[in-house]
């Protein structure tokens, strides 16, 4: 008999779906009473090495406003060769090619183990992938050299028939012609002037010349392709020339006076890039890759002026409405992002600088198009170089782990409508959150069949240029909340619920004031505890939560302290960066971000997970903490002294050497695979970098309460943050209170 844990895990492994509730309340009223909405995390392109794609078109329901895909939940009459759509109950004949099916010879899409199935459907000629590099030249020489080399290296990682292009910018914006012979030419744009898409295409020669005062018309497709060839060429033809061109890239020649920032025209550079791709390859998979070493300081999209004495906006400035460029710059980049998304072009941002680069304003470019944001201190760091390499990692089939031009359709039973989203660019770990509304009226009977069904249809261009469709069809039982509330409670998936509520919180935080989000989060938690906690009225000590909810309050406690909701410890760019990654990672990684993992290494046994609490910090332990963005290895006081004394070099203390090595080996596994690459901190008791650990652990011992307990165990944290114990105490008091 499968437990809910096993059921949840099997479903995630097979379909990439996890629901907050695995039994669905049968009315809208009951659904709202559950506090956590019926919602799911869905990974559309979850890697399934065991799922070979099928080479035929999916069979669709013939009803015009349904068009659901044939799936294992459909009733089939094998003799009459008819199937009944489980969404709209329409009876459909099978196509002629299915004449040979029978109940012992079923097509894959009817078998339960193929609740997720992928179809290869090549329509039209295969289109090559396009990579357009947009490179900031206002960098220090060391950084520019490192970036040149990374870009040259990337040419070896691109597929030979991919198209590649180069735009460089500083004070001016240059679009480089990549011819195979002769002198390198480029088209130069002023970095201060806003240009329309049409103007850009005209100036680049992508429009037919006007005749007798007529408007310039866009070139016919084949002519446009030929014209754009000058700017976007196949790698296999231009790799040598482009390598030289990259090698000869110079720093922006305009001198930067003392006390000033370089004039950086990022806004125009991106306008030109988006306009170029729009005019030449609409509706084809493309990646614009922006490499920038500082904030935009002139022209549309500028984020700060060129006077160094005026600092770039902080959260305090924004709160006090003192960020004069914020609205206008965000609008500029949002417009570009929307145009790109419509065309299936994604935009990545690789920002490496010690100060902010304007990620707050530019984040929509990546967020709306499915592009990456990578944030580092310098292009001459391992963090940038390796993260950038990992953009081009290949899967078990030797294909890139990137997909383009995605659209996601969701079909729900009984609603009759279909919701569709454009998900421009995807990779196998991209995970979306979906929130559903139960529309059944209260006390209406449970729908026919007793089960609700949802179908996810993801169409996309695979990196090997094939067009594919992945279909996932799932079902869950309806339940009457009046009589089956305990069953519904048992079906609660607290891990995914935490992530789903967190994503809602981040969404609210980005559109509302900060403190309100914490109040909202607390209110939801209290309501959930009031609904499902077992307690006697007004008796906090009697409060208990069942196992399916026992970890949930702790997740909420850590979420409240996380950089996703607490912004004042970070710059606006850092917050944007953390949130960007949080809302696209899969469940396991998202949970790590909410509540970091902490493992303890000691002589007493194998490595074990320990409480994320100051009491876990002990002199004779090594701790490994994973926050997703950082890996921290912390050596307790005694361990640090032993290490300093050099015991690991002595033969008779071989086990100490192994102890020191163990967390490094475990960290290595993570470092080798994670995207983006995390920072790596090796620190010890008293080290300045220990703050990364101390700021994350629950401060159960602080300077306020240390001596009250009379026992000095664990390291005290200097903070006035409320501890988990105090948080839980307050929560219980409020949950059991009859006046709440």
Partner 1 sequence: MDGDSRAKMEDMFIKPGNQERGWNDPPQFSYGLQTAHGPRKNLLTKRVAPPAAGPGAPPPAPPSFSPLAPPPCGPAPPPRCQAPPPPGMATPPPPPGPIASQREPDSSQSESEPDVEGVVSALNWALGACRQAVPGQVCDDIAKRVGVLEAGWRSGRLSLPVRRRMGTLTRELQSGHWDSADEIHRSLMVDHVTEVSQWMVGVKRLIAETRNLSPELLELDQDPAGPDQDPAGPDQDPAGPDQDPAGPEETTSSQS
Which parts of 623-662 interact with partner 1 (CB under 8 A)?
Answer: 624, 626, 630-631, 638, 641-642, 645, 647, 651-656, 659, 661
Q: Which of 700, 717, 735, 736 binds partner 1 (CB under 8 A)?
A: 700
Q: Rule CB under 8 A: which of 659-698 touch partner 1?
A: 659, 661, 664-672, 677-682, 689
Applying CB under 8 A, which part among 279-287, 361-369, 512-520, 597-605 lies near partner 1?
A: 597-605
Give the Cα separation of 121 and 123 in Å (integer): 6
Angle between helices 552-561 and 724-736 (to 10 degrees): 120
Phi, psi of 256 (to 5 degrees): -105, 115
In the chain, the largest separation of any two C-alpha atoms, in whole Å, equals 93
| CA Rg value for the chain | 28
Under rule CB under 8 A, how many of the chain's residues touch partner 1? Answer: 95
Q: Choose between 103 and 248: whose C-beta lies nearer to partner 1.
A: 248
Q: Which of 171, 261, 345, 732 binds partner 1 (CB under 8 A)?
A: 732
Q: Does 427 bind partner 1 (CB under 8 A)?
A: no
Applying CB under 8 A, which part among 110-118, 224-232, 248-256, 727-735 lies near partner 1?
A: 727-735
Q: Rule CB under 8 A: which of 365-404 touch partner 1?
A: 376-378, 380-383, 385-386, 389-390, 393, 396
Q: Does 704 bind partner 1 (CB under 8 A)?
A: no
Give the Cα separation of 249 and 119 in Å (integer): 44
Q: Which of 609, 691, 703, 740 binds partner 1 (CB under 8 A)?
A: 609
Residue 478: Cβ within 10 Å count? 20
Q: Choose between 190 and 394: whose C-beta lies nearer to partner 1.
A: 394
Give the Cα separation of 354 and 78 in Å (integer): 66
106: its two tokens? 């079923």
Give the Cα separation of 113 and 102 in Å (integer): 18
Q: Rule CB under 8 A: which of 554-593 touch partner 1?
A: 554, 588, 591-592
Applying CB under 8 A, which part among 235-243, 262-270, 484-492, 523-531 lies near partner 1?
A: 235-243
Angle between helices 552-561 and 494-511 (to 10 degrees): 30
Q: Which of 317, 620, 694, 704 binds partner 1 (CB under 8 A)?
A: 620
DSSP symbol at 19: E
Q: Choose between 201 and 590: whose C-beta lies nearer to partner 1.
A: 590
Run of H or E residues at 553: helix 552-561
Contact 394, 427 (CB under 8 A): no
Helix (H, G, I), strand (E, B) or coil at 652: helix
Run of H or E residues at 514: helix 514-532
Q: Which of 65, 211, 448, 604 binds partner 1 (CB under 8 A)?
A: 604
Q: Does 355 bind partner 1 (CB under 8 A)?
A: no
Q: Rule CB under 8 A: which of 503-542 touch partner 1?
A: 540-541
Task: List b or e across 411-421, with b for residues whose CB sees 16 or more CB atoms inside 10 angstroms.
Answer: bbbeeeebeee
73: its two tokens? 């939940």
Q: Choose between 88 and 528: whose C-beta lies nearer to partner 1.
A: 528
In which region does residue 410 sit, left (phi positive, over 0), alpha (psi from -120 to 50) or beta (all else)? beta
Q: What is the distance, to the nearest Å, from the Cα of residue 245 to the centroid of all Cα atoms in its chain?
A: 33
Give the Cα separation of 429 and 427 in Å (integer): 6
Minimum Å gap between C-beta 527 and partner 1 is 21
Q: Choose between 490 and 540: whose C-beta lies nearer to partner 1.
A: 540
Minimum Å gap between C-beta 632 and partner 1 is 9
Minimum Å gap between C-beta 383 and partner 1 is 5
**DSSP per residue over 661-723, as a string?**
HHHHHHHHHHHHH-SSPPEEEEEETT-GGGHHHHTTSB-SSBTTTTGGG----S--B---PPP
Helix (H, G, I), strand (E, B) or coil at 418: strand
Q: Which of 5, 75, 713, 737 binds partner 1 (CB under 8 A)?
A: 713
Contact 101, 78 (CB under 8 A): yes
**DSSP per residue over 354-395, as a string?**
SS--SHHHHHHHHHTTT--EEEES-TTSHHHHHHHHHTT-B-
Minimum Å gap between C-beta 682 and partner 1 is 8
Q: Choose between 146 and 485: whose C-beta lies nearer to partner 1.
A: 146
Q: Choose between 199 and 704: whose C-beta lies nearer to partner 1.
A: 704
Minimum Å gap between C-beta 653 and partner 1 is 6
Q: Does 613 bind partner 1 (CB under 8 A)?
A: yes
Minimum Å gap between C-beta 569 and partner 1 is 15
Q: Choose between 393 and 420: whose C-beta lies nearer to partner 1.
A: 393
Report how far apart, in Å, the C-alpha atoms of 147 and of each of 57, 163, 312, 385, 388 are: 44, 20, 25, 8, 10
Helix (H, G, I), strand (E, B) or coil at 649: helix
Q: Choose between 191 and 636: whose C-beta lies nearer to partner 1.
A: 636
Minimum Å gap between C-beta 708 and partner 1 is 9
* Residue reference for tokens 């392709």: 225
Q: Choose between 41 and 70: whose C-beta lies nearer to partner 1.
A: 41
Minimum Å gap between C-beta 356 and partner 1 is 15
DSSP bridge partners of 376: 352
Q: Rule CB under 8 A: which of 173-232 touch partner 1?
A: 180-181
Q: Choose between 96 and 182: whose C-beta lies nearer to partner 1.
A: 182
Q: Choose between 15 and 239: whose C-beta lies nearer to partner 1.
A: 239
Contact 415, 439 (CB under 8 A): yes
DSSP symbol at 322: -
Q: Rule CB under 8 A: which of 241-270 touch partner 1?
A: 243, 247
Angle between helices 552-561 and 587-594 (to 10 degrees): 60
Minimum Å gap between C-beta 127 and partner 1 is 21
Q: Choose between 441 and 655: whose C-beta lies nearer to partner 1.
A: 655
List CB contacts of 239: < 8 A, sequence separation 6 or more: 155
Minimum Å gap between C-beta 552 and partner 1 is 11
In which region does residue 53 sit, left (phi positive, over 0), alpha (psi from -120 to 50) or beta (all else)? beta
Residues 297-326 as x/- pattern, contact with partner 1 by CB under 8 A: ------------------------------
Q: Choose between 106 and 389: whose C-beta lies nearer to partner 1.
A: 389
Q: Choose between 306 and 729: whose C-beta lies nearer to partner 1.
A: 729
Minimum Å gap between C-beta 450 and partner 1 is 34
Q: Choose between 318 and 728: whose C-beta lies nearer to partner 1.
A: 728
Minimum Å gap between C-beta 346 and partner 1 is 23
Q: Rule CB under 8 A: which of 45-84 touch partner 1?
A: none
Q: Rule CB under 8 A: which of 126-165 touch partner 1?
A: 142, 149-150, 152-153, 155-157, 160
Q: Choose between 346 and 387: whose C-beta lies nearer to partner 1.
A: 387
Minimum Å gap between C-beta 168 and partner 1 is 18
Residue 719: Cβ within 10 Å count? 14
Helices (H), 248-325: 266-280, 315-319
* Residue reference for tokens 């509520």: 501
Q: Choose between 306 and 637: whose C-beta lies nearer to partner 1.
A: 637
Minimum Å gap between C-beta 562 and partner 1 is 15
Q: Which of 188, 240, 308, 444 binds partner 1 (CB under 8 A)?
A: 240
Q: Which of 51, 60, 335, 597 binds partner 1 (CB under 8 A)?
A: 597
Question: Pairing state of beta strands 679-684 and 172-176?
Answer: unpaired
């Amino acid at each position: 008999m499968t437990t809910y844990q096993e059921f949840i895990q099997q479903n995630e492994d097979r379909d990439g779906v996890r629901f907050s509730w695995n039994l669905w309340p049968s009315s809208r009223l009951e659904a709202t009473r559950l506090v956590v909405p019926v919602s799911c995390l869905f990974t559309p392109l979850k890697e399934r090495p065991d799922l070979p794609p099928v080479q035929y078109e999916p069979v669709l329901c013939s009803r015009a406003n349904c068009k659901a895909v044939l799936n294992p939940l459909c009733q089939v009459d094998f003799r009459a060769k008819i199937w009944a759509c489980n969404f709209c109950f329409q009876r459909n004949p099978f196509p002629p090619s299915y004449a040979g099916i029978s109940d012992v010879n079923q097509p894959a899409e009817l078998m339960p183990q193929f609740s997720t199935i992928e179809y290869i459907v090549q329509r039209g000629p295969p289109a090559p992938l396009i990579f357009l590099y947009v490179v900031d030249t206002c960098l220090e020489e060391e950084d520019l050299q490192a970036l040149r080399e990374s870009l040259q290296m990337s040419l070896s990682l691109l597929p030979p028939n991919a198209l590649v292009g180069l735009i460089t910018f500083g004070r001016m914006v240059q679009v480089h012609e990549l011819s195979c012979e002769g002198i390198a030419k480029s088209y130069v744009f002023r970095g201060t002037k806003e240009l329309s898409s049409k103007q850009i295409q005209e100036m680049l020669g992508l429009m037919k010349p006007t005749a007798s005062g007529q408007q310039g018309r866009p070139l016919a497709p084949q002519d446009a392709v030929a014209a754009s060839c000058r700017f976007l060429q196949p790698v296999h033809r231009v790799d040598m020339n482009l390598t030289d061109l990259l090698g000869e890239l110079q720093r922006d020649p305009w001198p930067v006076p003392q006390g000033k920032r370089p004039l950086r025209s990022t806004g125009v550079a991106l306008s030109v890039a988006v306009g170029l791709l729009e005019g030449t390859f609409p509706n084809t998979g493309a990646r614009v890759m922006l490499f920038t070493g500082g904030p935009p300081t002139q022209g549309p999209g500028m984020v700060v002026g060129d006077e160094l004495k005026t600092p770039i906006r902080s959260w305090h400035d924004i709160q006090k409405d003192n960020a004069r460029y914020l609205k206008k710059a965000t609008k500029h980049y949002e417009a570009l992002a929307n145009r790109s998304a419509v065309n299936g072009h994604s935009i990545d941002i690789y920002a490496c600088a010690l100060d902010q680069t304007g990620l707050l304003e530019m984040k929509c470019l990546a967020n709306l198009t499915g592009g990456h944001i990578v944030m580092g201190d310098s292009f001459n760091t391992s963090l940038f170089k390796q993260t950038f390499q990992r953009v081009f990692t290949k899967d078990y089939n030797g294909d890139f782990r990137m997909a383009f031009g995605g659209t996601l359709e969701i079909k729900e039973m009984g609603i009759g409508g279909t919701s569709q989203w454009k998900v421009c660019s995807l990779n196998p770990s991209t995970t979306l959150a979906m929130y559903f509304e139960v529309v059944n009226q209260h006390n209406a009977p449970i729908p026919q069949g007793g089960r609700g069904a949802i179908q996810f249809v993801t169409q996309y261009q695979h990196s090997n240029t094939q067009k594919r469709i992945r279909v996932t069809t799932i079902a869950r039982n309806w339940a009457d909340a009046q009589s089956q509330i305990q069953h519904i409670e048992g079906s609660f998936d607290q891990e995914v619920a935490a992530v789903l509520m967190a994503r809602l919180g981040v969404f609210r935080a980005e559109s509302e004031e900060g403190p309100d989000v914490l109040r909202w989060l607390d209110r939801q938690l209290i309501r959930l505890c009031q609904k499902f906690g077992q307690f006697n009225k007004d008796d906090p000590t009697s409060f208990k939560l069942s196992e399916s909810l026992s970890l949930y309050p702790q997740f909420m406690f850590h979420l409240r302290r996380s950089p996703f909701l607490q912004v004042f410890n970070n710059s606006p760019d850092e917050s944007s960066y953390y949130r960007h990654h949080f809302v696209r990672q899969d469940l396991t990684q998202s949970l790590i971000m909410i509540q970091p993992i902490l493992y303890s290494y000691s002589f007493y046994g194998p490595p074990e997970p320990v409480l994320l609490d100051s009491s876990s910090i002990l002199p004779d332990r090594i701790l490994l903490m994973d926050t997703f963005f950082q890996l921290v290895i912390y050596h307790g006081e005694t361990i640090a002294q032993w290490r300093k004394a050099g015991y690991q070099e002595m033969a008779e203390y071989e086990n100490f050497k192994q102890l020191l090595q163990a967390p490094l080996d475990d960290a290595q596994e993570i470092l080798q695979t994670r995207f983006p690459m995390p920072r790596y901190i090796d620190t010890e008791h008293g080290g300045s970098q220990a703050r990364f650990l101390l700021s994350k652990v629950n401060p159960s011992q602080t300077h306020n309460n240390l001596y009250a307990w009379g026992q000095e165990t664990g390291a005290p944290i200097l903070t006035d943050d409320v501890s988990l114990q105090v948080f839980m105490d307050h929560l219980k008091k409020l949950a059991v209170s009859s006046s709440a």
